[in-house]
Amino acid sequence: MRCATLNKNATSPAQPRPPAPASARREHAPGRYLAIAALIIAGESIFLLPFGLARIFRPTLLDVFHVTNLELGAAYSAYGVVAIAAYLFGGLLADRFATRTMLFVALTSTAAGGLVMMAIPSSSTLAILYGYWGITTIALFWSPLIRATREWGLDFSQSRAFGLLEGGRGALAAVMASIMVFLFAALLPEDSATASLAQRTDSLRQVILLLSAITCGAALLIWFALPERKAPPRSAISLCRDARLFAMPSVWLQAAIILCAYVGFKAIDDFSLYANQVIGLNEVDAIRIGAISLWIRPVAATGAGYLAERIGAPILTVICFVLLAVGSSVLASGFVGAGMAWAFVLTIIFTCVGIFGLRGLYFAIMQDGGIPLEQTGFAVGLLSVIGYAPDIFMGPLMGYLLDRSPGAAGHNHVFLVVTLFAALGLIASYLFAQLARRQARP
């Protein structure tokens, strides 16, 4: 009862802090933008080894590691199982320990895992490695990243902060994908179709080494560019406030939004394989298609962040789910088939605008949902436990659907699943927008 009384009488933490004066923003602009640049680079670099490699080189990775789609999906599932516990635990850590230190340790330990991957381990060892990455990229990294971004956005807007984070991460991912494709192609014979397994294995190892070095570089950048901010010690009162988040409808609706949007994001792993097996493109061209999709991310996410300042993040979330639902339904219908490369590219663009727009928004709406700043870490952990559950089931589900129905049918089934989740996300985002509108009324 004492905890409830103290919370009631305290100043409402859900009220956003007023923007800093324009002069103050100009004075601190160089340091502030260096900090957000460091967060962007770290936020993408840490996921290059666990996810970026397979997203771009999936056909090659399957051959080199001698694994099936289902076995690769099992490795993703191991990551997801560990991550579910790590999200909530990491959220508590983010509200207690220094952000810069946690991010630095997370990046260096993730890079160390690349040395194991260079050895081309067995499928069982690969699953263990992904479980290890679940600890380094989630328990030590994810909540501190979101908290640091939300703090950075206090002087501007939440949608702009998260739009810049996701858009910047997207730009870096696109540049890195293009570099990886160029390096991989350069290490192969001129006619990539004649490359032996040994040649492709050596080329992939060089790409893995590059990704490990980039992740270490991001750790150094974080250490020197990010201000050291120590979180205040957690008290019984603050823990009681954390518990109150469970009773907020906006939290559960936001968790549903993240879950449905993340299903769509996981499905982009299938783009390069779809291009290879359904459209009929060779291995290198299929990889290029996967890389092209990543160039949409910076434009869509950053644009969504700035557009949300005008029409509102909750309303724009609804619009993005409409785009995702329409684009994924086209791929699910089987309309885009062999030889229809341009139709496939256009459909990818349309779908990715919805996917990456959502990624730039689904944490920005924390303020619309009334989540206090000082509870960001715990809230991110709670939201992520539900929202990133697709890390557990989407990998094995995609692998099962693709292996059970080889060719176009398996890919159609994958995007049918995405369409169904997009429809559920559309409902959740509409309800969230209505709730946010009611809460905003005086």
One pLDDT digit (tens) per residue for the chain, 442 residues: 444 443 433 334 444 444 444 434 443 556 778 888 999 999 999 999 998 888 778 888 888 899 888 888 889 889 888 988 888 888 878 777 888 899 999 999 999 999 999 999 998 999 999 999 999 999 999 888 988 888 887 766 678 888 888 888 888 877 887 788 787 777 776 665 667 788 888 888 988 999 999 999 999 999 998 877 655 555 544 556 666 777 788 889 999 999 999 999 988 888 888 888 888 887 777 777 777 777 788 889 889 888 988 888 899 999 999 999 999 999 998 888 777 878 888 998 989 999 999 998 988 888 888 877 777 778 888 898 899 888 778 888 988 898 888 888 898 999 999 999 999 999 999 999 999 888 766 5
Instruction: Answer whether residue 126 is part of any domain.
Output: yes
The token duo for 201 is 């294995």
Instruction: Answer whether residue 253 is part of any domain.
Output: yes
Instruction: Answer whether residue 6 is part of any domain.
Output: no
**How many domains are contained in the chain?**
1
Instruction: Answer whether residue 14 is part of any domain.
Output: no
Instruction: Answer whether residue 291 is part of any domain.
Output: yes
How far lies 394's CA from each of 18, 80, 212, 390, in Å? 41, 10, 26, 5
- Cα–Cα distance for residue pair 349/329, rounded to 1 Å: 14
Q: What is the CATH number of the domain that holds 364?
A: 1.20.1250.20
Q: Which domain holds residue 133?
A: 31-226+245-440
Res 239: pLDDT: 57
Instruction: Answer whether residue 240 is part of any domain.
Output: no
Which residues are within 8 A (CB) of 23 and not within 5 positions of it... i.e. 6 or more apart? none
Length of the chain, in residues: 442
Count the neighbouring beta carbons within 10 Å of the beta carbon of residue 147: 24
- Cα–Cα distance for residue pair 362/356, rounded to 1 Å: 10
Question: What's the Rg (C-alpha) of the chain?
Answer: 21
Instruction: Answer whether residue 378 is part of any domain.
Output: yes
Instruction: Answer whether residue 9 is part of any domain.
Output: no
Decide if 414 contacts 402 (C-beta within 8 A): yes
Decide if 392 contacts 84 (C-beta within 8 A): yes
